[in-house]
Amino acid sequence: MRTPQTAPSRMHLAFAVLGLAFLGIFSWVFMQEFFAEWRTTQAQFRAIEGQVKDPHALSLAPPADGIRQIWLRDIDRVDRCTTCHLGVDDDAFVKAPQPFTTHSGTWLKTHPPDRFGCTVCHGGQGEATDYRDAAHQPIPHWSDPIRPRELIEANCGTCHREREPKEAFLLAAGRARIAEAGCIACHDLPGFSLDEVQAPRLESVGYKVRPDWLRKWLADPKAYLPQARMPNFRLEPDEIQDLTAFLLSQRQTTPLDASGVDWSKADADHGRAVFGEARCVSCHMIDGRGGTLGPELTTVGSKVRRDWLYSFLEDPMHDQPDTRMLRYRLADNDIRDLVAYLTEDLVDPDAATTPPAVGFLDPKQVEAGKQTFIKHGCFSCHRFGNLASTAKIGPSLMAIGDRTVEPSDFRGESADPTLENYLYLKLREPDKLAEDSRMPTFNFTEQEAATVVVALLSTRKADLPASRVTDAPAPKPYRPQGAFGALVSRYRCLSCHQVNGWGGTLSTVPLDRIGSQLQYAHIVAYLQQPYAIRVSVEARMPHFGMTADEARTIADYFSSVFVDDALEKPFAPAPDAARRGAALYTKLGCRGCHIIGQTGGYVGPDLSDTGHRLKPGWIQAWLAAPEKWKPGTLQPDYGLKPEEVQDLTAYLMTLSRTAAGRTP
């Protein structure tokens, strides 16, 4: 027989130790799982559930045990958040503490968890089943922690890419601020276009501005004008001098000849009257009052040269082809007097009264100024000859919401090294985070900077399926042709009005269906002599000095092109419809907001001339569903019956200026 062999004792010891180690590991894993945080949380939920629900409702409720999981296949995302957030879709837990409380608002009706999960909107690490690893707070190596309330709208913007997403007010405000500040001029940013950048061309600025004003402006635009859109580039004194020389050397388009103007006969008082009659304050601000569509004019006489201003008012498109300034039909003497008012009365008392003549400019200083112009990317906003095709000077922001920041990026700032803090500080004080930063100072308020941060954080590199993305494509430019197009260009109608979403926002009246809203005769008369339709709102439509032929050309186009066939319905009311409509007008309390003749309220439009102003088809459509035609309108939707709409329309169509005093 063979002698049995036995392992050395040290091997027995090693196997025993290894076995104990495995037993310890398995025991530790078992205990960790048995006492897992999610199990404790579910036990707490069951205790609360028994308190808030009656036995019958409790018997119908799904069991609160085990890990719950949502798998969003189209974006390959797994969320286990409802393992702990068990009452999120149950109104019975509206007063329960976190993590059991009902989700706020009505968001789950439009964003059901089985379709959107939780982390799509809230952020966090959805596969985790405990508080820390779910990224309720920032954790190492996870760049998408759960968003706090003030930043959660950034996640809305990942899917909702339209400029004004519904109920995401901070996100909408941030995107609006980005457009207003012209960030797209220096940075690539999705959803924005260079067409939105509004800045004057500078190829002929040497004829336009005074040197002393230009130096003050370049030093700090907002010190000269707090509402200025141009930021502060923190230029050195030498850079200001060089840039001034370069800009004053730009004289590409000679102003229109004003040598025949007899300035000795200029009447500034009459110019002030012309300024008022033309309603220039609809677009321009003076002493804090007026519009913001055009430049501020409080001290314009210390800014621009007289001959240039005369040329500009005679034909704004001569020097600035893309200007939003309309071309008034003013007599030469009216332009002369208006220039006198602007240059003599609207001046800075501390500025020099006589502008120096355009003299010699040092070529070396001009060249140095050109390099400064290029260095700071001035050509990005101010379209400037062949420099317009130069690459943008700022980094791309196409996926800024996914950027990783390091403590070294903060250069000694005490803030937590998070992306939102970095962006906020960069927007508020860009020179504090990078010593050689070329980003100018915009003087954003804390609130403005916060909204821009929300908008920037929404810009992610995730390639979402089209089914998850909502967008409102930018409207296509509308440029009408022919005689009508020439008048739209001359009077710059689209600086204030919109057609198919393209144009300005100063007016709340789009022109898309204006021919089905207003009567032809009213359009012709109004264009020649505009007036305020709302008594409580100051008239803003300029007095163009439009001729009758021009007004008819526009009215012809409106009445044949800008129409909605659904509104062009024949109107044949019953004989006593107007009488019933008058009684209904009184019953509904319409006079509380609308004036007829000398009585009524001032909230809504004056109805005294409705019968000569509006078309009956439009009145009927508006009364039936005002919110459809103007979302957010103050006009109540009374839920009128079709016959009531007919009666009220019949009454309104009887109103005219001559009969306005005979109110019901």
| Whole-angstrom distance, CA of residue 79 vs CA of residue 87 | 16
Radius of gyration of the chain (CA): 34
User: Is it the case that residue 333 has pLDDT exceeding 80?
Assistant: yes
pLDDT in tens, 533-551: 887 777 688 898 999 999 9
Paired strand residues for 290? 285
| Whole-angstrom distance, CA of residue 318 vs CA of residue 255 | 8
Tell me what pLDDT residue 315 has.
Answer: 95
Tell me what pLDDT residue 389 has.
Answer: 61
Q: Do 516 and 618 meet the contact criterion of CB atoms below 8 Å apart?
A: yes
pLDDT bin (cut points 50, 70, 90) of residue 662 is very low
Distance linking the first and last C-alpha atoms of the chain: 130
| Structure token digits, residue 111 | 């964003």
| Whole-angstrom distance, CA of residue 449 vs CA of residue 174 | 8
Q: Do domains 482-567 and 577-652 have the same CATH topology?
A: yes
| Whole-angstrom distance, CA of residue 171 vs CA of residue 157 | 7
User: Is it the case that residue 353 has pLDDT exceeding 70?
Assistant: no
| Whole-angstrom distance, CA of residue 220 vs CA of residue 225 | 9
What would be the CATH architecture of the domain defined by 169-195+395-465? Answer: Sandwich (2.60)
Tell me what pLDDT residue 174 has.
Answer: 96
| Whole-angstrom distance, CA of residue 654 vs CA of residue 250 | 61
Domain spanning 577-652, CATH class: mainly alpha
- Domain residue limits, the chain: 37-146, 169-195+395-465, 205-371, 482-567, 577-652
| Structure token digits, residue 296 | 């501020």
pLDDT bin (cut points 50, 70, 90) of residue 664 is very low
pLDDT in tens, 593-625: 999 988 898 888 999 999 999 999 999 999 999
| Whole-angstrom distance, CA of residue 276 vs CA of residue 264 | 23
User: Is it the case that residue 659 has pLDDT exceeding 60?
Assistant: no
Would you tell me which CATH number, out of the four given (3.40.1390.10, 1.10.760.10, 1.25.40.10, 3.40.640.10), belongs to the domain 482-567? 1.10.760.10
pLDDT bin (cut points 50, 70, 90) of residue 358 is low
Name which residue leads in pLDDT, 22 or 561.
561
pLDDT bin (cut points 50, 70, 90) of residue 462 is confident
Cβ contacts of residue 126 below 8 Å, gap of 6+? 70, 77, 78, 79, 80, 81, 117, 118, 119, 134
Q: What is the pTM assigned to this prediction?
A: 0.83
pLDDT bin (cut points 50, 70, 90) of residue 5 is low
Average confidence (pLDDT) over 22-36: 74
CA distances from 356 to 209, 211, 248, 260, 468 (A): 11, 8, 12, 21, 61
Q: Do 292 and 302 meet the contact criterion of CB atoms below 8 Å apart?
A: no
Q: By percentage, how much of the chain surpasses pLDDT 90?
A: 57
| Structure token digits, residue 12 | 């027995």
| Structure token digits, residue 413 | 């700032």
| Whole-angstrom distance, CA of residue 557 vs CA of residue 501 | 18
pLDDT bin (cut points 50, 70, 90) of residue 330 is very high
Average confidence (pLDDT) over 184-208: 90
Tell me what pLDDT residue 648 has.
Answer: 95
Q: Does domain 205-371 have CATH number 1.10.760.10?
A: yes
Q: Find, among 81, 90, 71, the residue nearest to 38 by Cα.
A: 81
Tell me what pLDDT residue 383 has.
Answer: 79
Tell me what pLDDT residue 418 has.
Answer: 86
| Whole-angstrom distance, CA of residue 351 vs CA of residue 235 | 22
| Structure token digits, residue 70 | 């949502």
User: Is it the case that residue 638 has pLDDT exceeding 70?
Assistant: yes
Average confidence (pLDDT) over 467-476: 86
Report which DSSP code applies to 559.
H
| Whole-angstrom distance, CA of residue 281 vs CA of residue 587 | 40
Q: Do 569 and 620 meet the contact criterion of CB atoms below 8 Å apart?
A: yes
